[in-house]
A and B are shown apart, each in its own frame.
Chain A
Amino acid sequence: MNAPLLVLERLAKTFKRRWGWRRAPDLAAVRDLSLEINRGDLFGFLGPNGAGKSTTLRMALGLIHPSAGRVLIDGRDLARERLAALRKVGAFVEAPSFYGYLSGRKNLELFASLSGKIEHGEIDRVLERVGLLGRERDPVEVYSHGMRQRLGLAACLLPRPELLILDEPTDGLDPHGIRDVRALLRSLVRDDGLTVFLSSHLLSEVENLCNRVAFLDQGVCVAQGELAELARRHRRLTVRVDLPDQAALVIKAKLGLDADLLLSPEEGLCLAPGVAPEAVNRVLLDAGFPVRALEPEADWLARFFLEHTTSREIEGAAA
Chain B
Amino acid sequence: MSAFLALLRFERAKLTGRAITWVPFLVLTIVVALIVAVFHRLQFNHMLQLLRAAFNLGGKDDFVNGYYMAAHAMNPVFQMLIPLFVVVAAGLMVAGEAERGTLRACLVRPVSRRALILSKFALLTGYALALCFFLLLLLIGAGILNFGTGNLYTLNVLFHNGNEGASMIPEAEMPMRLLAAGGLATLGMMVLAALGILVSALVDTPAMAFVITLSIYFACLILRLLPDIDWLYPYLFVTHMLRWQQCFFSYFRTGEILVSTIHLAGYLIAFLSAAVLLFEERDIKS
Contacts and interface: CB of A to CB of B under 8 A. Distances in A.
Is the pairing of A and B real?
Answer: yes
Interface of A: 58, 61-65, 82-84, 86-87, 89, 91-99, 101-102, 106, 110-111, 113-116, 155, 165
Interface stretch (B24-32, B195-203, B227-235, B278-286): B278-286
B17 A106 contact: yes
Contact of B283 (A65, A83, A86, A95): A65
B199 to A, nearest CB: 20
Contacts of A102: 13-14, 17
Nearest to A57: B108
B101 A114 contact: no
A106 B18 CA distance: 13
B104 A110 contact: no
A113 B6 contact: yes
Contacts of A86: 108-110
A64 B283 CA distance: 4
A279 to B, nearest CB: 49
Nearest to A62: B107
A113 B17 contact: no
A172 to B, nearest CB: 15
Given A64-B283, A65-B281, A97 B110 contact: no
Interface residues of B, number: 25
Contact of A63 (B6, B14, B281, B284): B284
B22 to A, nearest CB: 12
A97 B10 contact: no
B10 A113 contact: yes
The B interface, classified by DSSP as helix, strand, loop or mixed, is: helix
A247 to B, nearest CB: 56
5 smallest CB-CB distances across A and B, nearest first, come from A97-B101, A64-B283, A114-B109, A63-B284, A86-B110
Contacts of A61: 107-108
A101 B209 CA distance: 22
Contact of B109 (A97, A99, A106, A115): A115
Contacts of A94: 101, 104
A97 B108 contact: no
A180 B107 CA distance: 28
A63 B110 contact: no
Nearest to B109: A114
B102 interface: yes
B105 interface: yes
B19 A64 contact: no
B100 interface: yes
Contacts of A58: 104, 283-285
B102 A98 contact: yes
A115 B110 contact: yes
A97 B9 contact: no
A96 B283 contact: no
B257 interface: no
Nearest to A91: B108
9 contacts: A65-B281, A83-B111, A91-B108, A92-B108, A94-B101, A99-B102, A102-B13, A113-B10, A115-B110
A96 B105 contact: yes
B112 interface: yes
B110 A84 contact: yes
A101 B92 CA distance: 14
Nearest to A97: B101
Contact of B14 (A83, A110, A155): A110
A114 B13 contact: no
A155 B13 CA distance: 17
